[in-house]
Amino acid sequence: MQIIFAADRLHLQAGECTNLRWDVEHVKAVYLDGQGVTGHESRQVCPAAATTYVLHVVYDGGTTDRQLTIQVTGGGSPPSLQPGGSVADLAVTDLFPDNLPQGNVWVRVTNNGPATLSNTQIEMKCNSHGTPLSNIPPWSHVEAPWQHTVSLQPGQTATFQTHMTVDTGKYAYDAKCTAVPPSQGATFSDPNWSNNAYSEQIASPSSPPAPPGGGSWGILTTDVAVTDLYPDNLPTGKLFTRVTNNGPADLSIIGVQLVCQGGGWSGNQLTTFGGNQAMNLNLKSGQTAAYDTGMAIDTNQYQYYEMTCSIVVGFKDDQPANNIYSERIP
């Protein structure tokens, strides 16, 4: 797999334009800000304010994103702290259907703090692209941003319905949602835009693999999802992952394996990392907890990291597809 995403200029004066260019090979699909594109293309952009562009790539093993921020002098900027406003780190942590094969798609948004959001407007944008399972046309859902009201204390997660639906009898989906302060009239600022977008594949679940050594899974059945990867500090810090128990069963001191791998990029040089550790999950249905991966981040040494963590469970998982999560850091 090869992914190159670049801009002719990263700093513009208000009213100027630049070209985004990408070369992507050996992948399944490529999207620029939710719009399907070819693997080798360029596009002129003329942002009026500082803007981050996201190249979303779908490959056989999952998905990954590349981001470019174009700074604009004399223009506006991403929504910033308003007079009397506050600072809260929004993160989109999960996407899931309420029913299969046909159902509505729901999203989870977490407030990582430090401020409390009380009846606060956030701006959402969700897109999905369906790969047909038979001889029918592909399907896409591309929507305009819309606003949703949330009340979230630091550490709390809200779950609400998106405008997306799925029919996994006909398609396998790549879905994505982004949550940010509103572009107009924001009452808070977000200090960390790296976790505002979340992507997930939604398809009919396959039968879970047999447990190691044979036998049966027993009576415990629940859906465990890896929903985030983040450093506790930058430029250097520990790498943490968030794990969500989507239910229906509660987990009490249940042993699992956390497997993490990836690499740090310095120029065109890649240094790979990996780790495997046992840990216990204590999660009621609907709960999310953060766990130390045992790995570290140093963005003084590497320009960015591409990391993947997965949970290997010893019970029946209704949706094993969301047991793995990938993210680019920072």
Consecutive 10-residue averages of pLDDT for the chain (330 residues): 85 86 85 76 83 81 81 61 65 85 89 88 89 82 83 86 89 89 82 85 60 49 87 87 87 85 82 83 87 89 87 79 84
In whole angstroms, give the CA distance from residue 319 to residue 223: 6
Classify residue 244: in a domain, yes or no: yes
Question: Of 169, 202, 235, which closes a domain?
Answer: 202
Q: What is the pLDDT of residue 209?
A: 43
CB 8 within 8 Å of CB 19: yes
Domain count for the chain, please give it.
3
Domain assignment present for residue 164? The answer is: yes
In this prediction, residue 219 carries a pLDDT of 55
Q: DSSP readout, 272-328? A: EEEEEEEEEEEE-TT-EEEEEEEEEEETTT-SEEEEEEEEE-SSB-S-GGGGEEEEE
Quote the domain boundaries for residue 323. Answer: 222-329
| 153 shares a domain with 98 | yes
Domain boundary among 73, 107, 124: 73
Q: Cβ contacts of residue 209 below 8 Å, gap of 6+?
A: 320
Cβ–Cβ < 8 Å for 30, 6: no
For residue 305, the model assigns a pLDDT of: 87
In 153-235, at which residue ranges do the beta strands (DSSP E only) sit? 157-167, 171-180, 188-189, 197-202, 222-231
C-beta neighbour count of 21 within 10 angstroms? 15
Q: Would 194 be classed as within a structural domain?
A: yes
CATH of the domain at 288: 2.60.40.10
* Kind and range of the H or E run holding 183: none
pTM, entire model = 0.44
Last residue of a domain, one of 45, 73, 101: 73
Q: CB of 262 within 8 A of CB of 273?
A: yes
Residue 194 and residue 249 in one domain: no
For residue 41, give the amino acid letter: E
> Based on the domain organization, do 90 and 198 belong to the same domain?
yes
Same-domain status, 91 and 178 = yes
Residue 246: beta bridge partners? none
Task: Give me the pLDDT at residue 109, please.
Answer: 92
Residue 74 CB neighbour total at 10 angstroms: 11
